[in-house]
Amino acid sequence: MEKINVIKKGILSLFALGFVFTSCSNNEEISETEDLTQDTTEVKRSAEIDQIDNILGDIVIDAYEEQEYTADRSGVGAEGSNDAFYAKDIPECVTITVIAQQNYREVTLDFGTEGCVINGHLIKGQIVFDYTRDTEAQQIMINYNLIDFYFDAKNVVANRSILKELSNENGNPQFTHDLSITVIWPNGVQASREGTRIREWIEGFGSGFFSDNVFEITGDWSATFVNGNTHTYEVLEPLRREVVCAYFVSGSFDVQRTNFGGIFDFGEGNCDNQATFTFNNGTEVPIILN
């Protein structure tokens, strides 16, 4: 009888030990899943900032190009004027006003307090940009500021610049963007970005329509989240920006953070909200962009 009890105790001990190992394994799997979710959540938020950057850049560049085209041909924005004009690729719900003094131009794009939908995103507030007009200059600096600006309920704070070059080494117009920006989500999550992005205008320049334009984007930047996490980003394959699409249609960049990193890939050319993130260890997860 004593021998049987010993055997029972041994079996129970093995069962208990197995349960401990199973519990530890399950906990490790849960912890790993939570870590992956947290890491990809921050990467996804950074991709949301990409969207904001893209559409901000589109709007400012479109309004600048349209203002220059209109001023040359019809005198809107002529010296000493204070005029409103419409850019054909910006919805009429955006009020555009120009103040001109000698060669200085200040352009205000007002989306109103109720907002205006652009590329499927509700935008509220104002973008105010200025520049010194010089038709002979090879480079023009465009400075812009966001006032009470919201992008799909996310508060966006920025005061930055775009350097336009009439022709780069490939013979294409090029825009170098200062990426200083802070985005605050409705739930209080906050992230700031610093860096430089180069946007080369590879298709559609000179057509008279902004909607057929295509850009290739390169550069590097960093994003700092309110929890202290900092990510660094470097473009590996140029990010293809077709302005009729709200997302990059192809290209990839490298993401690195302490104890975490991988490749964010936008795919092979389709206009959709699908992307992938491949961790340094080879684990690949799908990313659905907002």
Domain boundaries, the chain: 35-288
Tell me if 174 sits within 8 A of 168, measured CB to CB. Answer: yes
Residue 290: its pLDDT value, please?
Answer: 76
Residue 73: its pLDDT value, please?
Answer: 62
Residue 75: its pLDDT value, please?
Answer: 52
Residue 98: its pLDDT value, please?
Answer: 93
Residue 154 has pLDDT above 60, yes or no: yes
| Cα(182)–Cα(187) distance, integer angstroms | 15
User: What percent of the chain clears pLDDT 90, i.e. is strictly above it?
Assistant: 58
H or E stretch covering 262 = strand 260-268
Residue 102 has pLDDT above 50, yes or no: yes
Tell me if 222 sits within 8 A of 231, measured CB to CB. Answer: yes
Residue 42: its pLDDT value, please?
Answer: 86
H or E stretch covering 37 = helix 2-74
| Cα(70)–Cα(67) distance, integer angstroms | 5
Q: What is the pLDDT of residues 40-80, one digit of tens each?
A: 788 889 889 988 998 999 899 989 988 887 766 655 545 55
Residue 86 has pLDDT above 60, yes or no: no
Three-class SS state of 73: helix
